[in-house]
Amino acid sequence: MSEYIIKNGKVYDPKTGIKGDISDVCIKNGKIAEKVSSKAKIIDAKGKTVMAGAVEVHAHVAGPKVNEGRNFRPEDKLFTYQPTGKNTRMAGGFSIPTTFKTGYEYAKMGYTTVMEAAMPPLYARHVHEEIKDTPIIDEGAFPVFGNNWFVFEYLKNDEMDNVCAYISWLLRATRGYAIKIVNPGGSEAWGWGENCATVNDPVPYFDITPAEIVKGLLTANEKMGLPHSIHIHSNNLGNPGNFETTLDTLKIAEGVRPDNKFGREQVLHHTHVQFHSYKGDNWANFESGSKEIADYFNKNKNMTMDLGCVTLDETTTMTADGPFEHHLTSLNHLKWANVDVELETSSGIVPYVYDPNIKVCAIQWCIGLELGLLAKDPMRTFITTDHPNAGPFTRYPRIMKWLMSDKTRQNMLKGFKNSDKVIAATNLASIDRELTMYEIAQMTRAGPARSLGLYNIFGGLAPGMDADVAVFNIDEDRIEDPEDIEKAFSAADCVFKSGTMVVENGEVISNGNKRTLWVDAKIPMNQQVKRDVQMKFLKFYSMNLNNYEVSNHYVPNPYVIEVDN
Amino acid sequence: MTKTITDVICPFCGTLCDDLIVTTDDEGKKIVDVENACAIGAEKFISASNHQHRKTRPRKLQEDGSFKEITYDEAVEYTAQMLVNAKKPSMYGWSSTSCEAQSVGHEIAELCGALVDNTAAVCHGTTLVAVQNVGIPSCTLGEVKNRADRIIFWGCNPAHAHPRHMSRYSIFPRGYFTGKGQKQRKIIVVDPRPTDTAGIADVHLQVEQGYDYELLQALRAAVRGQEISGDIVAGVPKEKVYEAAEMLKSGRFGVIFFGMGVTQSLGKDHNIDAAIMLTSDLNNYTKFSIIAMRGHYNVTGSGQVLGWQFGFPYSVDLSRGFARYNPGETGTIEVLKRKEIDAMFVLGSDPGAHFPMQCVKEISRLPSVAVDPHITPTTEICKVHVPVAFVGVEVGGNCYRMDNVPIEARKVVEPPEGMMTDTEFLKAVLKRVKELRAD
């Protein structure tokens, strides 16, 4: 494998603590190396920024609802298509790009690892088929557990060993990475057209509450010592006044200490917090609850979050939170797709236009950025758009620009049609913090990697780590126009994935050697769980047990994280 | 000793039963018994392993109308040359094959600037268009089994077309919340004919042929408690419409299954628009879903693979170097009618039996290749017929059920000696296409 040396760049790497010093990065045999031979190819990064490849902690990029979104929105492809290239397939779509485009666009922005945020276990094979067709980037997928009948029953009977054995089995069967919880209990209630709006609403027929589900899965996660913590989208998403439900959910994790061998420091990851930080009790007095949420996060260090920033685009919302999407379609009257999945989850899809002229949308835009600016620890706060829910991932460079430049934020605020009302309902106008390049590296590289339990291989530039490196044509000390930030991060100068140069001058030059990450928790099936699984498949599933597990050829290049706690 | 293989997937219809038990002879070459399958599914397995009637090598049509056996290499060369030399070839079918084969086919299509279309063109394409108009509230078939107490079959006859649908998912099974099975469910069948499915319905709404749209909209009005004008709607007495609406609203979980009777009759996608909006409306009162009764066992998969690779479920035109989608313009029937394509490649479908005669004539005029395990009307009019192994019998691969649930088909017996699978054949064509284009 070729050797490279990236010379004289400004390096930002939280792993080694380099904060913009001029330094060389060596690549050898697919890993970061101390030094390379004289044959190494030299990349001149003088005046440029060098970071590790970025790690995406939460995006909907593969699977049944993403594909339903593609197929039911032909309009999303308009004016977006790129023809077949020398190294690339034809690629199109804006908020829900094709798998090929997903891989190319992430790589061009210097992202090298991506987590698919919600995998319905019954559809795991579909998720992996799409992952297989997404070039370059390493990917993993989180199976959803928060509305699973096995989990409900074991937790209700206080059978923690069985919960762990079942989780371990399901992670293996679906080649999954972590425990995802979406609207705990609420998506099951949606099977009857109902919902769980607070953490104490009982789930119909199952005699369990969202709080008990979260607490139970959190306990199981730490007992098993999985690389990632529970990854939660709490109840009551998107409603005015929901910040209290969010706090109630977070409180469940208060005081719990992480127990794992992967260097993970949190016990709970709350995703797309922007959607969960609303005050007011209706759309008229809707306002930002970012201060309350950020304060809580700043005080409780055993949690991480990602932002879910609204980018003010036309996009496609999709979530395993079925009742929310029904609520949304009754608000905006756009087409609605729904899929309830037996014994496991529900999901829904609705297109959405975040119009800056609409007060609520502009307030949502503020909240996402406020959370990023009010959070004191960038190692626990990650940039996302909950792609494609609050906007497409291709807008990350724009969010970086907003976070790094007070001027662009204030200009946006002034330009809104309802500027005064938006400013009155939010905190953004009074926040002048500008994030540094180092903090961006923490929020997009080191932080998410540590949160996922992957900080020994991804998200840093220490020798021995995977050689995922991105070089951007920007110098933090010489930014004349904030637009340059967006431009530089949109098309990296060059990107390496596991030591292979995949992007050069903003163009994809290689499809790399993508891997699928999954977690093998190695807890043996006990007789009870074995019997329960057999019985449920016999009586309630529409598929036979022996056809459920994803076979190895759908995961042709696996990277298995083995857990031995 | 015979060998028994369990959990076998049936590669026939969109019900995609996965509980078949297949017994083969001791050499694993001949299928001697198939359990759990319907008559159609069982016959597919049994006849596949009866090699006498099968062609096992490609054939080329001669000037005198006879076929001459050729090698697979010659067939690969003919196909690759035909696709590379064509300005606008069509690659149609894809519904009776695996997703793996579809994926290779799409890469060829991309390189050759072909149109890619599946059998939704003559089937549920109108459904896909309606979904693009108004969305689709749906669920998996297991949800129906566990929860549903109101079932509508509209313009479909599962008793004959999807024989095990009713026993596995929709009418008879006892699920988690449906312990009494059929007794707990109310069945409505909407069909102009007194079909066998209608025979077991609680209510049969004998809609006048071609008036489905009217009846659907009347039901929507009735659900909302609005007045319906006239005593008879679409051949159904007004009282019966109100009664049916009340039956739907009073259920706890309902589902509409619909088929060709509404998708390809007068009104087409507008009928499905109305059916989906009826489902949406009902969600304001109770829980309701709608599921298309997809025909071929993997037509759904073709839509999925096209979706993630190009963003459109059928009628995809790659001839301009990027994907375009405009059913009515880019569909296979339309381009054949307009004589717009200059080569035809068919795999996993039989347009010769199902397309309008005008289109069939056009196929017979064009350079053409049909890849199919069977001899069909299509293989008889194409210039080259490439027989391949049966997917789901002689080779495995992923398939999508009518509710989009992916299930991996199994291989139960070896194909006749020396036969290629469709994935192998397509990979060989892809390799040759790349070579030809490099020159």
- In SS3 terms, A376-391 reads as CCHHHEECCCCCCCCC
Give, as one character, the DSSP assignment of residue B224.
T
Interface with B, mutate which of A70, A71, A73 (most B CBs under 10 A): A71
Domain annotation covers residue A380:
yes
- The pLDDT of residue A1 is 65
Does B194 reach chain A within 8 Å, measured CB to CB?
Answer: no
B356 prior amide bond cis, ω within 30: no
Q: Which residues of chain B have a CB within 8 Å of the CB of A90?
A: 110, 310, 318, 321-323
Answer yes or no: are the C-beta atoms of A14 and A379 closer than 8 Å.
yes
Residues 6+ apart with CB under 8 A from B285: B223, B249
d(CA A220, CA B359): 61
Strand order in the sheet with A54-59: A54-59, A111-119, A138-143, A516-520, A558-562
Domain annotation covers residue A140:
yes
Cβ-in-10-Å burial (0-12, 13-18, 19+) of A131 comes to buried
pLDDT per residue over B65-122, tens digit each? 999 999 999 999 999 999 999 999 999 999 999 999 999 999 999 999 999 999 999 9
User: Which of B7, B305, B398 lies closest to A546 in CB terms?
Assistant: B7
> How far B144 CA sits from the closest chain A CA (Å)?
9
d(CA A463, CA A459): 12
Does A332 reach chain B within 8 Å, measured CB to CB?
Answer: no
Does A374 reach chain B within 8 Å, measured CB to CB?
Answer: no
Q: Which H or E run contains B285?
A: none
> How far B276 CA sits from the closest chain A CA (Å)?
10
d(CA A127, CA A111): 20
Using CB atoms and an 8 Å cut-off, which of residues 164-193 of chain A contact chain B? Answer: 190-193
d(CA A97, CA A69): 10
User: Which of A71, A122, A205 lies closest to B405 in CB terms?
Assistant: A122
CATH of domain B125-292: 3.40.228.10
Interface with A, mutate which of B297, B310, B325 (most A CBs under 10 A): B310
- The pLDDT of residue B439 is 80
Interchain proximity B175–A540, CB inside 8 Å: yes
pLDDT per residue over A198-222, tens digit each? 999 999 999 999 999 999 999 999 9
Nearest to B376 by CA among B346, B356, B399: B346
Q: Read off φ and ψ for residue B268, nearest 5 degrees.
A: 45, -120
Residues 6+ apart with CB under 8 A from B61: B67, B382, B383, B384, B385
What mean pLDDT, rounded, does chain A reach?
97
Q: Which residues of chain B have a CB within 8 Å of the CB of A73?
A: 132
- The pLDDT of residue B429 is 98
Interchain proximity B133–A551, CB inside 8 Å: no
d(CA B223, CA A51): 59
Q: CA–CA distance from A49 to each of A21, A22, B302, B374 (Å)?
A: 10, 9, 44, 61
- The pLDDT of residue B27 is 86
d(CA A228, CA A249): 18
Q: Determine if residue B413 is left, alpha or beta; phi over 0 gives left, psi from -120 to 50 gives alpha, anything else beta.
A: beta
Answer yes or no: are the C-beta atoms of B310 and B118 closer than 8 Å.
no
Helices then strands, counting H and E runs in chain B, come out as 18, 22
- The pLDDT of residue B319 is 97
User: Which amino acid does the sequence have at B315?
Assistant: S
Chain A: residue whose CA lies nearest to B178: A540
d(CA A219, CA A196): 22
Nearest to A309 by CA among A358, A357, A352, A362: A362
Residues 6+ apart with CB under 8 A from A553: none
Domain annotation covers residue A496:
no
Question: In this structure, which topology does domain B55-123+297-438 adopt according to CATH?
Answer: Rossmann fold (3.40.50)
Q: Which residues of chain A have a CB within 8 Å of the CB of B147?
A: 191-192
Q: Which domain holds residue A112?
A: 53-459
Q: Read off φ and ψ for residue B375, nearest 5 degrees.
A: -90, 125
User: Which of B287, B312, B321 lies closest to A74 in CB terms?
Assistant: B312
Q: CA–CA distance from A274 to each of A238, A450, A507 (Å)?
A: 9, 22, 33
Percent helix, strand, coil in chain A, to 5, is 35, 20, 40
Q: Read off φ and ψ for residue A416, nearest 5 degrees.
A: -65, 145
Helices (H), ranges, A133-192: 149-156, 160-174, 186-189
Using CB atoms and an 8 Å cut-off, which of residues 296-325 of chain B contact chain A? Answer: 303-305, 307-313, 318, 321-323, 325
Interchain proximity B405–A541, CB inside 8 Å: no
Which residues sit opposite B150 in a β-bridge?
Answer: B186, B254
Strands B67-69 and A507-508: unpaired
> How far B322 CA sits from the closest chain A CA (Å)?
5
Residues A251, A256, A257, A259: what is their CA dihedral angle, to the nearest 10 degrees? -110
Domain annotation covers residue A397:
yes
User: Which of A71, A191, A339 lies closest to B138 in CB terms?
Assistant: A339
pTM equals 0.97
Interchain proximity A338–B168, CB inside 8 Å: no
Residue A565 has pLDDT above 80, yes or no: no
pLDDT per residue over A410-452, tens digit each? 999 999 999 999 999 999 999 999 999 999 999 999 999 999 9
Chain B: residue whose CA lies nearest to A333: B134
Residues 6+ apart with CB under 8 A from A188: A147, A149, A152, A203, A204, A206, A346
Give the E-state strand segments of A205-313 in sequence order. 230-233, 268-270, 278-279, 287-288, 303-306
pLDDT per residue over A130-161, tens digit each? 999 999 999 999 999 999 999 999 999 999 99
Does A99 reach chain B within 8 Å, measured CB to CB?
Answer: yes
User: Which of B138, B142, B311 lies closest to A542 in CB terms?
Assistant: B142
Which residues sit opposite B23 in a β-bridge?
Answer: B4, B33
> How far B336 CA sits from the closest chain A CA (Å)?
24
User: Which of A68, A90, A540 lies closest to B146 in CB terms?
Assistant: A540
Q: CA–CA distance from B261 to each of A483, B203, B258 (Å)?
A: 56, 18, 8
Nearest to A254 by CA among A302, A191, A323, A222: A302
d(CA A178, CA A190): 24
Residue A111 has pLDDT above 90, yes or no: yes
Nearest to A429 by CA among A442, A444, A412, A443: A412
Residues 6+ apart with CB under 8 A from B219: B241, B244, B245, B248, B278
Mean pLDDT for the stretch of residues A187-204: 97
Interface with A, mutate which of B140, B141, B287, B326 (most A CBs under 10 A): B140
Answer yes or no: are the C-beta atoms of B301 and B406 closer than 8 Å.
yes
Q: How many CB atoms lie within 10 A of CB A445?
A: 31
Interchain proximity B406–A129, CB inside 8 Å: yes
The angle that helices A527-539 and A160-174 make with each other, rounded to 10 degrees, is 60
- A326: CATH: 3.20.20
Q: Which residues of chain B have a CB within 8 Å of the CB of A132?
A: none
DSSP B152-204: EEES--HHHHSTTHIIIIISS---SS-TTGGGG-EEEEE-SS--HHHHT-SEE
Domains in chain A, number = 1
Give, as one character, the DSSP assignment of residue A466.
B
Q: Which residues of chain B have a CB within 8 Å of the CB of A64?
A: 404
Does A83 reach chain B within 8 Å, measured CB to CB?
Answer: yes
Chain B: residue whose CA lies nearest to A346: B139
Which residues sit opposite A518 in a β-bridge?
Answer: A560
Interchain proximity B313–A71, CB inside 8 Å: yes
User: Which of A67, A71, A338 lies closest to B138 in CB terms?
Assistant: A338
Chain B: residue whose CA lies nearest to A548: B407
Q: Which residues of A476-496 are buried (b: 16+ CB within 10 A; e: fewer)?
A: beebeebeebbbbbbbbbbbb
- The pLDDT of residue B53 is 87
Q: CA–CA distance from A84 to each of A43, A79, B320 (Å)?
A: 28, 15, 11
Q: How many CB atoms lie within 10 A of CB A153?
A: 18
> How far B16 CA sits from the closest chain A CA (Å)?
10
- The pLDDT of residue B231 is 96
Answer yes or no: are the C-beta atoms of B102 and B254 closer than 8 Å.
no
Q: Which residues of chain B have a CB within 8 Å of the CB of A195?
A: none
- Residue A535, classed as helix, strand or coil, is helix
pLDDT per residue over A509-553, tens digit each? 999 999 999 999 999 999 999 999 999 999 999 999 999 999 999
Chain B: residue whose CA lies nearest to A348: B137
Interchain proximity A84–B110, CB inside 8 Å: yes
| CB-facing half-sphere around the CA of B15: CA atoms within 13 A | 25
User: Which amino acid does the sequence have at B408?
Assistant: E
Q: pLDDT 10s digit of each residue in chain B, 439 long? A: 899 999 999 999 999 999 999 999 988 889 999 999 999 999 999 999 888 889 999 999 999 999 999 999 999 999 999 999 999 999 999 999 999 999 999 999 999 999 999 999 999 999 999 999 999 999 999 999 999 999 999 999 999 999 999 999 999 999 999 999 999 999 999 999 999 999 999 999 999 999 999 999 999 999 999 999 999 999 999 999 999 999 999 999 999 999 999 999 999 999 999 999 999 999 999 999 999 999 999 999 999 999 999 999 999 999 999 999 999 999 999 999 999 999 999 999 999 999 999 999 999 999 999 999 999 999 999 999 999 999 999 999 999 999 999 999 999 999 999 999 999 999 999 999 999 999 8
Does B113 reach chain A within 8 Å, measured CB to CB?
Answer: no
User: Which of B141, B305, B321 lies closest to A83 in CB terms?
Assistant: B321
Domain annotation covers residue A542:
no
Interface with B, mutate which of A325, A338, A343 (most B CBs under 10 A): A338
Using CB atoms and an 8 Å cut-off, which of residues 531-560 of chain A contact chain B? Answer: 539-544, 546-547, 551, 554
d(CA A492, CA A490): 6
- Residue B336, classed as helix, strand or coil, is helix
Residue A63 has pLDDT above 80, yes or no: yes
User: Which of B142, B304, B322 lies closest to A343 in CB terms?
Assistant: B142
Q: Which residues of chain A have a CB within 8 Å of the CB of B280?
A: 329, 336
Interchain proximity B287–A193, CB inside 8 Å: yes
Q: ipTM score of the complex?
A: 0.97
* Sole residue written with tokens 């490279």: A4
Domain annotation covers residue A46:
no
Answer yes or no: are the C-beta atoms of A48 and A471 closer than 8 Å.
yes
What is the interface size between A and B, counted as CB pairs within 8 Å? 183
> How far B227 CA sits from the closest chain A CA (Å)?
24
Residue A188 has pLDDT above 90, yes or no: yes
d(CA A63, CA A392): 16
User: Which of A192, A326, A547 lies closest to B18 in CB terms?
Assistant: A547
The angle that helices B72-85 and B99-112 make with each other, rounded to 10 degrees, is 50
Q: Read off φ and ψ for residue B217, nearest 5 degrees.
A: -70, -35
d(CA A417, CA A244): 29
Helices (H), ranges, A333-446: 359-374, 396-404, 406-415, 419-425, 437-441
Does A270 reach chain B within 8 Å, measured CB to CB?
Answer: no
